[in-house]
């Protein structure tokens, strides 16, 4: 019995040793087969042992990531699979499931799918000696049938030899490096390295969408400003461009270079790793070495800052809480510096979180107390420079007595003149502020408080990241529109009037007061305004789907507008105009109704915007004369464009043009007849007379759409654009015509349209013969989509 027990123990030990050897063999393999799993603590190694793949925890964080790194100690991952989707509590498992999908599974959380296939196939993934992790479909004999996915197509912050930096126009892949957020946080940071999207043969680094560094142009074997990479460290670059792809790649001499790579750091530095050592090739912020700053783009600074202004890191506390930038902005410490440096009132900043993310800034008025104690917060304080006024005082005292006396007299006269001018300007702005804000505090319409919120310029600058180009939604003659996020998390559209804009205080006040008083579901809502110095800013609710012309006149995006949605947009615009003309407290004529001024919310519901040109009429007045004709040619009624006569029928004409554009998907100011060069109105009239009106409908509309409804819309559109205002229906009549198919519509008369070739001649002649027209200030509003 004892012998049997000993033999049993020996067999058990052998079985355990076999299992251990199998586990070790599995962790040392370079291949993950279908049905296999790679758990936390297990690793894949490339065939020669150069690279390894597995789960890791960067720094002191508790979350884990799947990554690839060089097979040696203390190496940073060169590729991360789930950089913005960390695995909680180390429960990640990499597997190829029974359907051939490559994914990361974790407990109680949805899988992270790296590659998905439609049906079950024989797949396996292998880690190559190049550091590329490749998923392939296999033939029955085990040979590779086709490559399905590879990690090289999804780089993170590191460029390895044989990887590509550029884009593939055929597959849509865009190979760029994106920095880590911090040294211990792999999620996407603030800097991006890629090829110049403008087509210039050079590498560029962007900082949150703004150009930060350029490599110089490509010359045969290297970029003009990166010769250090090519000559000293044997990086053999190649630039490839053909009809399918354009990319940069490099190779190295393995005999002289160990563990080569290019790294885009979290601070925007481009670091190269050569012969088992690191060198920094680009550093635009932290280094004073001029050779490392070659190619750096000079950052635009506000007038209140100078390039030698510096922030000094100190341990201590601030006297009050600062302004915290919303967490979803994903800002890092260098972004905090940028925000604070470009905000004149900012004197200190710090990371909001212990992991180095988030931003908290302090404005003037807050004070700092320094404590050199461990564990305290590191705060960056603006270093003040001593005032050298005494030098100028010595120069002034040492001058002649006559010159200072003369300068003093001139100064007194200039000061008095400026004081009168500033007083007048302050009175004008104070009156405007009263009308827009204080004078409206107690006005309510039902349960709706119509008070406008007065925003500070610093709040608006913070919301738009100092009016960053990445936040710009559009630009026109009035200025620019930016997307912004307020401190309470609300997304807004911020309209910043340009100093050179034709719209001044009159239009600004007109739009602010009008929109604040108008409350309707089909009118855009004004949240507030900002006036500071020459800055005039309006803050609106944000429309995520931009404007109607963004969809309507684009060959691909117009497919999102089926007939049901187009008819809903037509009805919504009509309801908004009925409210303006009849049911609002003011009788308002918009005067600039067009596709770019119809904004679309998240459900593609229309909202009329841009009331800077709007006109308020008496409730019992039918029409007025104006000496200032404003609007957009092609949408303006003839009596308004030629004689300055404005009425509600002016908007009806514009609505008719807009209705024909929505039905046809065509712009009114284009040519639609090879011989006569007719605009859209003329083309629609010609088709109608030839009983071919249905041909005006957008060819992209579904064949199942109700053609009787489409034809009726064309009919109503032609009634709205008739030459004489009295022949056009009112907007309530228009809504009835569209909603009730049983109403018999009158036949349309010849509308007001021009043959485009003769239109210019007509306008010039009218300008010479009509005294009233020659004084009109006609503006053409070309507004981009918002």
If one compares 613 and 680, the residue with the highest pLDDT of the two is 680
What digits encode the pLDDT tens for the residues 564-586? Answer: 999 999 999 999 999 999 888 77
Closest CA to 533 of 601, 598, 585, 457: 457
- Residue 398: pLDDT band (50, 70, 90) is low
CATH number for position 444 = 3.30.200.20
Helices 731-739 and 648-664, packing angle to 10 deg:
30
Mean pLDDT of 247-265: 80
What digits encode the pLDDT tens for the residues 762-785? Answer: 333 233 333 332 223 333 333 333
pLDDT value of residue 22: 43
Least confident of 31-35, 481-485, 637-641, 756-760: 756-760
If one compares 187 and 587, the residue with the highest pLDDT of the two is 187
Same domain, yes or no, for 551 and 669?
yes
Same domain, yes or no, for 481 and 378?
no
Q: Encoding tokens for residue 159?
A: 């460029």
Residue 262: inside a domain: no
Q: Give the integer Cα–Cα distance in Å for 577 and 151.
A: 55
Which of 140-149, 428-437, 636-645, 725-734: highest mean pLDDT?
725-734
- Residue 515: pLDDT band (50, 70, 90) is confident
What digits encode the pLDDT tens for the residues 744-753? Answer: 999 999 887 6
Same domain, yes or no, for 484 and 588?
no
Same domain, yes or no, for 525 and 565?
no
- Residue 99: pLDDT band (50, 70, 90) is confident
pLDDT value of residue 573: 96
State the total domains in the chain: 4
Buried/exposed code over 269-279 (b: 16+ C-beta within 10 A; e: otherwise)? bbbbbbeeeee
Mean pLDDT of 433-461: 59
Same domain, yes or no, for 565 and 657?
yes
The H-or-E segment that residue 360 falls in is strand 359-363
How is the beta sheet containing 109-115 ordered, strand by strand?
37-39, 93-96, 102-106, 109-115
- Residue 548: pLDDT band (50, 70, 90) is very high
What digits encode the pLDDT tens for the residues 334-367? Answer: 889 888 888 888 999 998 888 788 899 998 888 8
CATH number for position 102 = 2.90.10.10
Residue 741: inside a domain: yes
How many Cβ atoms are within 10 Å of 50's Cβ, its own excluded? 16
If one compares 506 and 651, the residue with the highest pLDDT of the two is 651
Q: Encoding tokens for residue 553?
A: 């006149």
- Please measure the distance between the N-terminal and C-terminal CA atoms of the chain and give it in whole angstroms: 88
pLDDT value of residue 428: 52
Residue 407: inside a domain: no
Q: Is the pLDDT score of 727 beyond 90?
A: yes
Contacts of 71 (CB under 8 A, 6+ apart): 45, 46, 49, 50, 51, 52
pLDDT value of residue 731: 95
Which residue among 507, 524, 542 closes a domain? Answer: 542
If one compares 433 and 656, the residue with the highest pLDDT of the two is 656
Residue 757: inside a domain: yes
**CA diameter of the chain:** 127
Same domain, yes or no, for 553 and 441?
no
pLDDT value of residue 679: 87
Closest CA to 320 of 373, 359, 364: 364
Same domain, yes or no, for 617 and 721?
yes
State the residue range of the domain holding 659: 547-786
Least confident of 227-236, 260-269, 475-484, 538-547: 227-236
Q: Give the integer Cα–Cα distance in Å for 172 and 244.
A: 10
Q: Give the integer Cα–Cα distance in Å for 145 and 214.
A: 41
- Residue 445: pLDDT band (50, 70, 90) is very low
Residue 666: inside a domain: yes
Determine what percent of the chain is predicted with pLDDT higher than 70: 75
Same domain, yes or no, for 636 and 743?
yes
Length of the chain: 786
pLDDT value of residue 501: 55
Same domain, yes or no, for 73 and 55?
yes
If one compares 278 and 635, the residue with the highest pLDDT of the two is 635
Strand segments, DSSP code E, in 19-63 are 31-33, 37-39, 43-45, 51-56
For residue 588, the SS3 value is strand
Mean pLDDT of 58-87: 87
Same domain, yes or no, for 667 and 768?
yes
Which residue among 512, 542, 572 closes a domain? Answer: 542
Location of structure tokens 């439609």: 118
Q: Give the integer Cα–Cα distance in Å for 481 and 493.
A: 7
- Residue 384: pLDDT band (50, 70, 90) is low
Residue 660: inside a domain: yes
Least confident of 212-221, 316-325, 469-478: 469-478
Residue 15: inside a domain: no
Least confident of 70-84, 335-349, 390-404: 390-404
Contacts of 281 (CB under 8 A, 6+ apart): 226, 228, 229, 262, 270, 271, 272, 292
Q: Are 262 and 159 in contact (CB under 8 A)?
A: yes
Mean pLDDT of 279-289: 67
Q: Which residues are catalytic?
A: 592
Least confident of 163-177, 190-204, 613-627, 765-779: 765-779
For residue 540, the SS3 value is strand
Q: Is the pLDDT score of 458 beyond 90?
A: no
Q: What angle do CA 54, 58, 62 make, to 5 degrees?
A: 95
Q: Is the pLDDT score of 275 beyond 60?
A: no
What digits encode the pLDDT tens for the residues 470-503? Answer: 888 887 667 788 999 988 888 999 988 876 555 5
pLDDT value of residue 555: 87
CATH number for position 581 = 1.10.510.10
Same domain, yes or no, for 371 and 444?
no
Least confident of 186-195, 205-214, 428-437, 600-609: 428-437
pLDDT value of residue 726: 93
Q: Is the pLDDT score of 441 beyond 60?
A: no
Q: Is the pLDDT score of 6 beyond 70?
A: no
If one compares 129 and 478, the residue with the highest pLDDT of the two is 129
Q: Is the pLDDT score of 673 beyond 50?
A: yes
Mean pLDDT of 268-280: 71
Same domain, yes or no, for 523 and 589?
no
Closest CA to 41 of 17, 15, 71, 64: 64
If one compares 758 and 80, the residue with the highest pLDDT of the two is 80
Q: What mean pLDDT is reported for the chain?
A: 79
Which residue among 506, 522, 542 closes a domain? Answer: 542
Which of 255-269, 282-296, 601-615, 717-731: highest mean pLDDT?
717-731
Residue 295: inside a domain: no
């Amino acid at each position: 019995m004892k012998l049997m027990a000993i033999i049993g123990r020996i067999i058990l030990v052998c079985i355990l040793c076999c299992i251990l050897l199998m586990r070790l063999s599995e962790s040392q393999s370079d291949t993950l087969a279908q049905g296999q799993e790679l758990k936390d603590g297990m690793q894949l190694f490339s065939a020669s042992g150069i690279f390894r793949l597995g789960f890791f925890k960067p720094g002191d964080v508790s979350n884990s990531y799947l990554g690839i790194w060089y097979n040696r100690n203390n190496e940073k991952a060169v590729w991360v699979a789930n950089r913005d989707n960390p695995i909680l509590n180390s429960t990640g498992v990499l597997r190829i499931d029974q359907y051939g999908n490559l994914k990361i599974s974790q407990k109680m959380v949805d899988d992270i799918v790296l590659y998905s296939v439609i049906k079950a196939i024989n797949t396996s993934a292998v880690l190559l000696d190049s550091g590329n992790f490749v998923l392939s479909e296999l033939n029955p004999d085990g040979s590779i049938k086709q490559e399905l996915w590879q990690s090289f197509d999804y780089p993170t912050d590191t460029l390895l030899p044989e990887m590509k930096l550029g884009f593939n126009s055929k597959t849509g892949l865009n190979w760029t490096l994106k920095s880590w957020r911090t040294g211990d946080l792999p999620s996407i940071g603030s800097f991006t390295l890629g090829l110049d999207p403008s087509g210039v043969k050079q590498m560029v680094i962007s900082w949150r969408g703004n150009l930060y560094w350029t490599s110089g142009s490509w010359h045969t074997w290297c970029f003009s400003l990166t010769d250090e990479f090519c000559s000293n460290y044997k990086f053999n670059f190649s630039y490839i461009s053909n009809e399918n792809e354009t990319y940069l790649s490099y190779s190295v001499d393995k005999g002289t270079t160990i563990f080569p790579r290019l790294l885009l750091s979290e601070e925007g530095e481009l670091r190269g790793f050569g012969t088992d050592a690191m060198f920094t090739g680009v550093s635009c912020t932290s280094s004073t070495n001029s050779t490392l700053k070659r190619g750096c783009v000079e950052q635009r600074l506000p007038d209140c800052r100078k390039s030698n202004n510096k922030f000094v890191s100190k341990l201590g506390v601030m006297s009050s809480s600062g302004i915290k930038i919303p967490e979803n902005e994903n800002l890092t410490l260098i972004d905090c510096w940028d925000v604070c440096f470009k905000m004149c009132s900012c004197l200190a900043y710090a990371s909001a979180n212990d992991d180095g993310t988030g931003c908290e800034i302090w404005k003037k008025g807050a004070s700092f107390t320094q404590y050199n104690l461990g564990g305290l917060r590191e705060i960056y304080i603006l270093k003040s420079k001593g005032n050298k006024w005494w030098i100028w005082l010595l120069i002034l005292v040492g001058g002649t007595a006559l010159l200072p006396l003369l300068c003093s007299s001139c100064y007194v006269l200039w000061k008095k003149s400026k004081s009168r001018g500033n007083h007048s300007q302050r009175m004008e702005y104070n009156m405007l502020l009263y009308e827009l804000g204080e004078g409206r505090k107690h006005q309510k319409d039902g349960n709706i408080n119509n008070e406008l919120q007065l925003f500070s310029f610093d709040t608006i600058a913070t919301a738009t990241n100092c009016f960053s180009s990445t936040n710009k939604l559009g630009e026109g003659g009035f200025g620019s529109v930016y997307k912004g996020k307020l401190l309470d998390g609300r997304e807004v559209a911020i309209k910043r009037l340009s100093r050179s804009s034709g719209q001044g205080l009159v239009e600004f006040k007109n739009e602010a007061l009008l929109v604040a008083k108008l409350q309707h579901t089909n009118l855009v809502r004004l949240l507030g305004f900002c006036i500071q110095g020459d800055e005039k800013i309006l803050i609106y609710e944000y429309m995520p789907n931009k404007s109607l012309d963004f969809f309507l006149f684009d060959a691909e995006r117009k497919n999102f507008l089926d007939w049901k949605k187009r008819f809903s947009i037509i009805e919504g615009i009509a309801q908004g105009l009925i409210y303006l003309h009849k049911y609002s407290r003011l009788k308002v004529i918009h005067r600039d109704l067009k596709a770019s001024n119809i904004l679309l919310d998240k459900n593609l519901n229309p909202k009329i915007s841009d009331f800077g040109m709007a006109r308020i009429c008496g409730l019992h007045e039918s029409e007025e004369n104006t000496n200032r004709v404003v609007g957009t040619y092609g949408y303006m009624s003839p009596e308004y464009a030629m004689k300055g006569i404005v009425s509600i029928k002016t908007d009806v004409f514009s609505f008719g043009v807009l209705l024909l554009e929505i039905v046809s998907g065509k712009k009114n100011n284009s040519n639609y007849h090879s011989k006569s060069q007719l605009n859209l109105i003329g083309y629609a009239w010609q088709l109608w007379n030839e009983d071919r009106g249905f041909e005006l409908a957008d060819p992209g509309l579904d064949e199942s759409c109700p053609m009787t409804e489409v034809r009726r819309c064309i009919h109503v559109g032609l009634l709205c654009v008739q030459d004489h205002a009295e022949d056009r229906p009112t907007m309530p009549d228009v809504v009835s015509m569209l909603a009730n198919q049983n109403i018999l519509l009158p036949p349309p008369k010849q509308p007001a349209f021009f043959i485009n070739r003769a239109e210019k001649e007509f306008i010039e002649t009218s300008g010479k013969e009509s005294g009233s027209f020659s004084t009109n200030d006609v503006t053409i509003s070309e507004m981009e989509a918002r």
